[in-house]
Structure 1
Amino acid sequence: MDHIEIQKRVNALSKAMLAKGLRQPSAAFRIECNKQCEIYLRWKDVTKVEDIYSNDEFKFIGGDTPEDAFTKASAYVDELPTADEARMRQFMGALANVIDLGKKNGVEVEFLNPLQATMKKLSENILTDQRAA
């Protein structure tokens, strides 16, 4: 596998991550002394609001050969939720953060109860996937 093929595979991983709904995806291939070949995947987790500067998610995937590392990385990305599922998880994460922020700041319970009821309903719908019904 030459550097041109490696660049194509890295680009394809980033594109596949974008198709899965990941925000600002990045993929890199790394060779380091005395270690396996490594694929580094990184993206923004927009559901984290506590520290906006450290909301990167990442995954290191190693392999004995570049092909092995790319195969494992592609399988990992393929197993990620679909873009629709990712958007719903993003929404639910943001809603959970709003509920937590309300509790932390002493927002009255009558304002939080409808949000908690919405979160419960969304969670139940996801568990039973009632969108098709």
Structure 2
Amino acid sequence: MSVTSAATLATLHRTGPRRITDLAATEGVTQPAMTTLVRVMEESGLVERRGDPSDRRVTLVCLTEAGASYVRTRHQAGVDAFARLIDELPDDEVEALVAALPALAHLAELEDRDRGGPKR
């Protein structure tokens, strides 16, 4: 799976259903490129298109259960990899990481804001 595909699935998981134009802007690709990407992910069963109940002219891209499962599995694999690496660090370096957590959480909030998502 491409980085853009994985990032798009993560965006949908974090923010909920979105228009293709919004996804294209968030992921930094053209609308035609996002349309193609969504079609491929739709054919793979990771996303589906649904009408927007508030505007019948709009189509929203939504994660399927398979797409949400993929995001969760990929996230857990990252968590597990970091946990294994952190276990190899000396105590003083683990303490430094713990001290940096508030700043890292703030960075995540700023990124969510910039990408139009909810605060974590």
TM-score range relative to shorter protein: under 0.3
Instruction: Considering fraction of residues, name the structure with more helix.
Output: 2
Structure number, greater radius of gyration: 1
